[in-house]
Amino acid sequence: MKVRSKMLVSVLIVLVLTSVAVMATTITFWKFTDTYGDPLIVKYVNEWNQLHPDMKVDFVEIPWAQYTTTKLSAAFASGQGPDIFWVSPGDELRYYNAGVLQSFDKYLTPEQINDFFPVAREKVTIAGHIYGLPIELEPLAIYYNKDLFDQYHLSIPQDWNELLEDAKILTTKNRWGLILDPTPTYYELFTFYPFLWSAGGSVVNEDWTKSTFDSTAAIAALTFYQDAFDKYKVSPKSIPTAGTNDISTFVSGFGAMQECGEWAIQMLTVNPPKFKWGYFPIPPMTKGGTSVSVMGGWIQVVNKNSPVVKDAVDFTLWLFFKTDFEKQWCTVQNSKLPAYKSVYESAKDYYDSPIWQTFINQILPTSKPEPRYTPEMDLALENALQSVIFANVSPAVAAKTAAQQIDNFLSTYTGAH
């Protein structure tokens, strides 16, 4: 009888343990592959999993080219989207209009919301509600080879003409003068906006009833790109690395100048080039004008249709507010401006470094948030850029065509903006 009782107890224990294992939650977390940043995320995911054995986070790294094009959108289209994912502000409307994004309004305290820098809060707010948590602030600049500038007796360019003139001088058979992004992606648009804005241009009016891209300002910005890529041939039409967001293109000597973000500081520090380097604000269109940059930065969002949405929110809140992930992400694993006031204050020694002063004192104050458009509007803009870079289409025709395409789309659009 005792033996049978012991066997029964053993069976019950096995059943209970099996039941617990079956009930364990798995939270899928997708993100593009990032050699510098992913090890830190893995560290915190492992820490969470140790603390929450019944609520495991499965972190999935996806190659950049796949993640930023079709992988993520295709997964949601088939109903197989992740529970947590990273999205750029420029692509956020796609998922909002698809009914995918979970609002964080009821999960955030007033103190947490107030901790966001205003520009960071703006980029996660749609129709008055907060969708996801901002990860960083990422303005752009022009990085340059100081040794080459000294060799050719060049000074920091003060307008587009001087930027092109310097690029022409620095271009040789084995080196490009200025690396801009030629690939039809959201990142290409991200890097184009400072030139459009510097010329006084925009894409659409405030209430989204009409495109404003058919303008002298847009034509001027498109002309600058056509001059750089096609007329003067100082910018490459193909990039040997993953993209112009990778500063290793500049480090290799492939280009004398490159438009890139402040994340390049970390890369240039960890793997310093054989030459002295620096960076300067993107020059305005005309001398004496205001330099304008664009403020990017990824957002961690939660799939509101996920069967584990509350667990996904809990992990996200834990990561950003219960650990030092944000500080480590911005100041150790990367070189980025934080989205939260408290993190900036706690890392003042880091940001007081001389290398940061141009970003903080000159570039940041005139940076504008990355605009949030639909995939249809972005495609029209991408086509305009591609046509002037590769097909020698008149900038005036490219601007007019893009504006017409956007107007046609807006005539039936009923989503948010």
H or E segment to which residue 383 belongs: helix 375-390
Scanning 143-297, the segments in alpha helix (DSSP H) are 146-151, 160-170, 186-198, 216-226, 248-251, 264-270
What's the whole-number mean pLDDT along residues 238-248?
Answer: 86
Q: Where are the domains of the chain?
A: 2-137+296-369, 140-295+372-410
Nearest alpha carbon to residue 224 among 198, 246, 242: 198
Q: What is the mean pLDDT of residues 38-43?
A: 97
Least confident of 201-205, 241-245, 413-417: 241-245
pLDDT of residue 243: 80
Contact 329, 136 (CB under 8 A): yes
Beta pairing class for 133-134 and 299-302: antiparallel
CATH superfamily of 140-295+372-410: Periplasmic binding protein-like II (3.40.190.10)
Can you point out the beta strands (E) in 223-280?
257-261, 277-280
pLDDT of residue 84: 98
Average pLDDT of 327-345? Answer: 96
Residue 217: which of 192, 237, 186, 242 has the closest Cα? 192
Structural class in CATH, domain 2-137+296-369: alpha beta
Instruction: Please give the model's pTM, rounded to 2 decimal places.
Output: 0.91
Statement: residue 1 has pLDDT above 90? no
Mean per-residue pLDDT, 336-352: 97
Domains 2-137+296-369 and 140-295+372-410 alike in fold: yes
Confidence check: pLDDT of 203 > 80: yes
**Structure confidence at residue 15 (pLDDT):** 46
How far apart are alpha carbons 276 and 144 in whole angstroms? 9
